[in-house]
Structure 1
Amino acid sequence: MRTQVGIIGAGPSGLVLSHLLYLHGIDSVILESRSQAYVEARMRAGVLDSDVTALFKAVGVGERMMKEGLPQEQMEIRFEGKRRYINWKELAGGRVNMVYGQQEVVKDFIQRRQQDGGKLFFEAQALRITDLDGRPTIEYMHEGQQKKLECEIVAACDGYHGIGRRTIPADKLEAYELNYSFAWLGIVAEARPSSKWLVTSAHERGYAMHSMRSPSISRNYLQIPLTDTVDDWSDERIWQELQTRLETDADWKLEEGAILEKTRFDIRSFVCHTMRYKKMFLAGDSAHMVPPTGGRGLNQAIADVCILADGLADYFKKSSSAHLERYTDLCLQRVWHAQQFTWRMTSVLQRLDWENKNPYHRQVQIAQLEYLTSNRAAATSLAECYAGMPLQTSFLPSDRPQYPLVI
């Protein structure tokens, strides 16, 4: 099998890239190691930047999102019994984010790619990538047989543990990583959301967050020790701890319901500066990861493939590699912006002193929260970061409002 662009991974980055390439008139093939049912049920990110929602509408994959998504104009931060609000629409130039689960994005783009005759192969495990100097080949297993996909460009959209980044020789790889001293417990519950906006709490017992995935499904998170497992957290204990950490002196009630899913995951920050190696490009989680604190993961992945799609359009249609040569630099500016923002919010919302619970650290944390939520300039910076940077893409008007890189 041959194609112009071989894409490994049918997550949001791989699917959106394939669709954008299709609109540019460029052929691609997606190889995904998991089943279609698995990737369509995999619940991860859920908040889309305003530019991302605008992109999905512009490329014809936004109809269901606009019907079922939940617009978000603000978020709430709780600490020491106080409720503070960061209004993105007011402070960040009218921008409104959208709650629309990653699994729904994946469903929409799979349906559209199949509708357009796109080539998607599920349960197709990439084994190795060869000849990146010449005519790249992806060897993979599918339906019990070892097969080959020949292409001109490889796009590795296969996540942190994927084969793409592991193909790069160690002496050519430049990467930075930070592992945090705690984990998160993610909870999906069949319970009506208790708020119309994201609620996040910097409690002395640890971080908690309440959000929504639909009018009937809520998504909650708890900061937990690295030593804890899912088995340590019964349904009863989860609801009790959420009630405690989200408590407030105002009249507010956390709706409870059947817990559909519990997932424990470690928290890490990671950046691979080698986002291009010969004729292979990394995008999304294969190149960078952030804690979910700032909602940057999915949005950063879409930003990567927007830049890559336009670069590949110039490469195939204009025989120009100038845009592709800038791919890493253009992506990394955004990537490190997201890293510093997420690190800042993780530091101010989580108990980083998890082991010793130093009272000094807690008082500094409270002072930071007071400043960020009561000083208008600080709140504006926070709102602009949460609302996200504009996408660099030919699929949106170039004269739309632009926003500064906020540090």
Structure 2
Amino acid sequence: MRAQVAIIGGGPSGLLLSQLLDVHGIDSIVLERKTKDYVLGRIRAGVLEQGLVRLMEQAGVATRLHAEAYRHDGTLISYGNETFRLDFSAHTGSSVMVYGQTEVTRDLYAAREAAGGKIVFNVEDVVIHGADTDAAHVTYTLDDKDHRIDADFIAGCDGFHGVSRQSIPLDVRREYEKLYPFGWLGILSETPPVNHELIYASSKRGFALCSMRNENLSRYYIQCSLSDKPEDWTDAAFWAELKRRIPAEYADQLITGPSIEKSIAPLRSFVTEPMRWGRLFLCGDAAHIVPPTGAKGLNTAASDVHYLIEGLRQFYESNDSQGIDSYSHKALARVWKAERFSWWFSSLLHRYPDQSEFDLKMQQAEIDFLRTNQAAQRAMAENYVGLPY
């Protein structure tokens, strides 16, 4: 087989890239190691920056998003029982949309299928060959048969554990990583959200987040030990701990119910450089990971797709390689700003095991400064709704 672009990974970044390529008349093949049902069964964040919303519009897949998503013009931040609202619209004239990543992926699958897009599921033994030559190709096995795709370019959208990043030689790539000494225990419940906007809560017992998917589906998180396991926490224990960490007025309003999903996610900041090697381009989690605080993972992957699409369009429409040559530099410049924001926001709200009394006072002063300073609120709002591409 041959394609102008071979895409490894059938998650939202790979599908969005494939759909946008199709819009611009550039053909692609997507390889996914799991089934479609498996991909759609993954529970992920659902806060979309306006940049991602615009990309969905350009891809022709924003109809359901605009009909069902919730627009959030601000968020609540609490420290103990003190709560203040940060107004995104007032500070930036913009907002975010709450729409589950699963729904983004579902919309993209529907669009690719309607367009006759080529997606190959259940692939194994994917290997990238000749990425630093003019004969780039990908091999894989499917149903015990060997297959090959020759391509002009290869897009690695296969996540942190995929083959794409590992295909860049160690003497070429450099990796930066910070591991956080805690995780997030999250549950999904068929209950109405406790508030119409997200609540980010810092307490003496640790961080908590009150989020939602829709008016009858809520997503809640609490900071937990990395040694914890989901089965260590009963639903009753989770709800009791969440109530201890959020302000009393919201704890009193909280409607609880059985969890329909429960998991623990470790927190990591990770970046690899460069994001391009020859004809191979890394997108999303294949190149960088952010803590979930502030919901930058999917949104940063979307900005990668934006820069790559612009570069490939320029190449195919004008035979100009400037865009693909500058891809890694442009993408990384924005990635590091997203990393900074997620690191800062995580440091602001979580309890660290080695924090001194002085550290705790500084953390409280930082939150109070954010509560009372308009310039600080504007800076946070600009980062939360999404820095420009």
TM-score, length of structure 1 as denominator length: 0.93
Give the whole-Å Cα distance in 1 for the aligned partners of 2:288 and 2:214: 28
Give the aligned partner of residue 32 of structure 1: 32
* 1:371 paired residue among 348, 358, 369: 369
Asked whether the 8 Å contact 1:82–1:249 carries over to 2, the reply is no
Superposed CA deviations along residues 179-199 of structure 1, whole A, max 9, x for unmatched, are 111111121111111111011
Give the aligned partner of residue 20 of structure 1: 20
Asked whether the 8 Å contact 2:80–2:245 carries over to 1, the reply is no
- Give 4+ residue runs of structure 1 displaced > 3 Å after superposition: 249-252
Aligned 1:381-392 pairs, distance under 5 A:
381-391=379-389
Superposed CA deviations along residues 224-273 of structure 1, whole A, max 9, x for unmatched, are 11111112111111111111111335785112122011111211000111
| Percent of aligned pairs with the same amino acid | 38
Matched, 1:118 2:117: yes
Give the whole-Å Cα distance in 1 for the aligned partners of 2:123 and 2:251: 51
Give the aligned partner of residue 107 of structure 1: 106
Once the two structures are TM-superposed, the CA of residue 134 in structure 1 deviates from its matched residue by: 2.4
Once the two structures are TM-superposed, the CA of residue 300 in structure 1 deviates from its matched residue by: 0.6
Asked whether the 8 Å contact 1:191–1:256 carries over to 2, the reply is yes
Once the two structures are TM-superposed, the CA of residue 360 in structure 1 deviates from its matched residue by: 2.5
What secondary structure sits across from 1:84 in the alignment? strand
Matched, 1:75 2:81: no
Superposed CA deviations along residues 118-147 of structure 1, whole A, max 9, x for unmatched, are 101111235211121122121112233221
What secondary structure sits across from 2:253 in the alignment? coil
Asked whether the 8 Å contact 2:244–2:251 carries over to 1, the reply is no
Asked whether the 8 Å contact 1:138–1:149 carries over to 2, the reply is yes
Give the aligned partner of residue 217 of structure 1: 217
Superposed CA deviations along residues 8-60 of structure 1, whole A, max 9, x for unmatched, are 01111101110111111100000011110011121112100122213322331
Give the whole-Å Cα distance in 2 for the aligned partners of 1:358 and 1:230: 29
Give the whole-Å Cα distance in 2 for the aligned partners of 1:155 and 1:59: 18
Superposed CA deviations along residues 351-399 of structure 1, whole A, max 9, x for unmatched, are 12x2x553322221111100012111111111111011123xxxxxxxx
Give the whole-Å Cα distance in 2 for the aligned partners of 1:262 and 1:316: 45
Asked whether the 8 Å contact 1:77–1:83 carries over to 2, the reply is yes
Aligned 1:165-180 pairs, distance under 5 A:
165-180=165-180
Given residue 117 of structure 1, which amino acid in structure 2 is its aligned partner?
G
Superposed CA deviations along residues 148-184 of structure 1, whole A, max 9, x for unmatched, are 1111100000001110001111111111111111111
What secondary structure sits across from 1:150 in the alignment? strand
Give the aligned partner of residue 191 of structure 1: 191
Closer, same or farther: CA 153–333 of 1 in aligned 2, 3 Å? same
Give the whole-Å Cα distance in 1 for the aligned partners of 2:385 and 2:376: 14
Which structure 1 segments of 5+ residues have no match? Answer: 392-407
Which structure 2 segments of 5+ residues have no match? Answer: none
Give the aligned partner of residue 206 of structure 2: 206
Given residue 387 of structure 1, which amino acid in structure 2 is its aligned partner?
V
Closer, same or farther: CA 265–7 of 1 in aligned 2, 3 Å? same
Give the aligned partner of residue 65 of structure 2: 65
Give the aligned partner of residue 310 of structure 1: 310
Aligned 1:6-405 pairs, distance under 5 A:
6-92=6-92, 94-132=93-131, 133-249=133-249, 252-352=252-352, 354=353, 356=354, 358-391=356-389
What secondary structure sits across from 2:345 in the alignment? helix
Asked whether the 8 Å contact 2:187–2:220 carries over to 1, the reply is yes
Asked whether the 8 Å contact 2:185–2:263 carries over to 1, the reply is yes
Give the whole-Å Cα distance in 1 for the aligned partners of 2:10 and 2:249: 45
Give the whole-Å Cα distance in 2 for the aligned partners of 1:128 and 1:250: 51
Once the two structures are TM-superposed, the CA of residue 223 in structure 1 deviates from its matched residue by: 0.7
Note the aligned Cα RMSD (angstroms): 1.3
Give the whole-Å Cα distance in 2 for the aligned partners of 1:215 and 1:39: 24
